[in-house]
């Protein structure tokens, strides 16, 4: 860039030109400060240091690894270790605390709910939906209707061993397929469907002696003489407003004809006991939990809940 030319000043701008000319256009010379050049050179040096230390260049079969051996996977591992480390102080307390203690300690309570919420998203939301809203055949976990019981110990047991799962201690029961196995005729099923529909809606005038007779004989052993269900057999309450598979005539007929029996895997062995207990607390606190562990305040409210359940 040695320019031995004489300095030439552009008439219009009064700025000197570089002497470079294209089609009659001359380049003005408004020089950058020299330190700007140094900053540029320094950033090149910085770049060289950077790709020596960190992964950078694509090469056949991958990329240069860099002297520090940095990968984002390692960083993730470190971050997770850090989080586990931070959790450990709560985990230890949580492990040794009873449910009652957890419900009286705001920190443990928050810890359990947060851990439960996160474990729920990872493991349970696939079937039960985000926030436990449920779907046909998959119970809504927000309501106060429980098949196998809504006390903390019940929930924990369900989580641990599953329902009709492979675990030896799993919760199990089997509704007979009344139609398919020829236990009841189509007409009888129809009669009992009317009876069941009337159970949850007293306005419906479908109460028949015949229906009551079939119900008492075939259904009451599990669902109870009043059809209120039984947590021991996972038999749903037939007198409430909540239907797992649907409360219309057609669905009910199908249910009685073919029977139902949902499956939930056992989580013991997949999730550690702390996570299962966190989930139990979280599910209990979704709004339908069946026992009150806090000292006062909502007892009245809760008393009504239990009444309804009985």
Partner 1 sequence: MTTDKTPSKITNSEKIYEEHEEAVNKAGDIQYFEKQEKVYPKRVWGKYRLIKWLVMAFTLGIYYLSPFIRWDRGPNAPDQAILIDLYGPRAYFFSIEIWPQEVYILTGILILAAIMLFFITSLAGRIWCGYYCPQTVWTDLFVWVERFVQGDRNARRKLAAAPWSFEKIWKLTLTHSIWIVIGMFTGGAFVLYFNDAPTLIQDIINLEASPVPLSFIAGLTLSTYIMAGYAREQVCTYMCPYARFQSAMFDKDTLIIGYDEARGEKRGKHKKGETWDGRGHCIDCTACVQVCPMGIDIRDGLQMECIACGLCIDACDGVMEKIGLEKGLIRYDTPAGMEESARLRKEAGEEGAHKTHHASTFKFFRPRTFYYGGIMTLVGCIMLYALIFRSPLELHILRDRAPVFVQLSNGDIRNGYVLKILNKTHEHKHFTLHVDGIENSQIDIKAAGDASENDLFVPADSVGSFRVYIKAPIEPQKALDIKFIVKDKETLETAEYNSVFITRRD
User: Site residues (CB under 8 A) for partner 1?
Assistant: 1, 3, 5, 7, 16, 18-19, 29, 31-37, 102-110, 129-133, 140, 142-145, 237, 240-242, 285, 287-288, 294-298, 301, 308-309
Compare residues 34 and 187 and give the one whose CB is closer to partner 1. 34
Phi, psi angles (nearest 5°) of residue 230: -155, 120
How many whole angstroms separate alpha carbon 264 and alpha carbon 14?
Answer: 84
Residues contacting 245, CB < 8 A, separation 6+: 136, 137, 251, 254, 255, 260
Q: For residue 301, how many C-alpha atoms fall within 13 Å in the half-sphere facing its CB?
A: 10
The least distance separating partner 1 from the CB of residue 237, rounded to whole angstroms, comes to 7
Q: Which is nearer to partner 1, 116 or 162 (CB)?
A: 116
Q: Which is nearer to partner 1, 237 or 255 (CB)?
A: 237
What is the nearest approach in angstroms of partner 1 to the Cβ of residue 111? 10
Residue 246's H or E segment, with its range, is: none
Write down the least CB distance from residue 180 to partner 1, Å.
29
Pick 162 or 288: Cβ nearer partner 1: 288
Q: Which residue in this structure is represented by tokens 């900053």?
A: 39
State which residue, 6 or 187, has the beta carbon closest to partner 1: 6
- Spatial neighbors of 279 by CB under 8 A, at least 6 apart, are 116, 119, 120, 124, 155, 159, 267, 271
Q: In angstroms, what is the minimal distance from the CB of 184 to partner 1?
A: 27
For the CB of residue 34, give the shortest distance to partner 1 in the complex, in Å.
4
């Amino acid at each position: 860039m040695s320019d031995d030319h004489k300095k030439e000043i552009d008439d219009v701008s009064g700025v000197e030109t570089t002497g470079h000319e294209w089609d009659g256009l001359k380049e003005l010379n408004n020089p950058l400060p020299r330190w700007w050049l140094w900053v540029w050179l320094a950033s090149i040096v910085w770049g060289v240091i950077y790709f020596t230390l960190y992964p950078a260049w694509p090469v056949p079969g991958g990329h240069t690894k860099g002297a520090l051996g940095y990968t984002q996977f390692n960083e993730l591992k470190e971050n997770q270790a850090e989080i586990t480390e931070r959790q450990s102080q709560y985990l230890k307390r949580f492990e040794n605390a009873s449910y009652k203690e957890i419900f009286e300690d705001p920190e443990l309570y928050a810890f359990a709910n947060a851990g439960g919420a996160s474990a729920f998203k990872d493991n349970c939301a696939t079937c039960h939906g985000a926030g436990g809203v449920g779907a046909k055949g998959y119970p809504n976990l927000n309501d106060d209707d429980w098949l196998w019981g809504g006390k903390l110990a019940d929930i924990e047991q369900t989580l641990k061993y599953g329902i009709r799962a492979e675990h030896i201690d799993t919760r199990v029961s089997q509704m007979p397929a009344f139609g398919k196995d020829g236990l009841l005729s189509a007409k009888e099923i129809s009669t009992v469907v009317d009876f069941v529909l009337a159970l949850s809606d007293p306005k419906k005038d479908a109460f028949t002696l015949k229906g009551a007779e079939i119900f008492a004989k075939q259904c009451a052993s599990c669902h109870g003489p009043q059809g209120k269900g039984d947590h021991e057999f996972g038999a749903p309450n037939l007198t409430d407003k909540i239907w797992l598979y649907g409360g219309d005539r057609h669905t009910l007929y199908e249910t009685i004809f073919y029977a139902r029996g949902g499956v939930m895997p056992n989580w013991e062995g997949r999730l550690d006991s702390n996570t299962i207990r966190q989930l139990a607390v979280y599910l209990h606190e979704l709004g339908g939990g069946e026992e009150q562990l806090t000292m006062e305040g909502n007892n009245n409210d809760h008393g009504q809940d239990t009444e309804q359940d009985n």
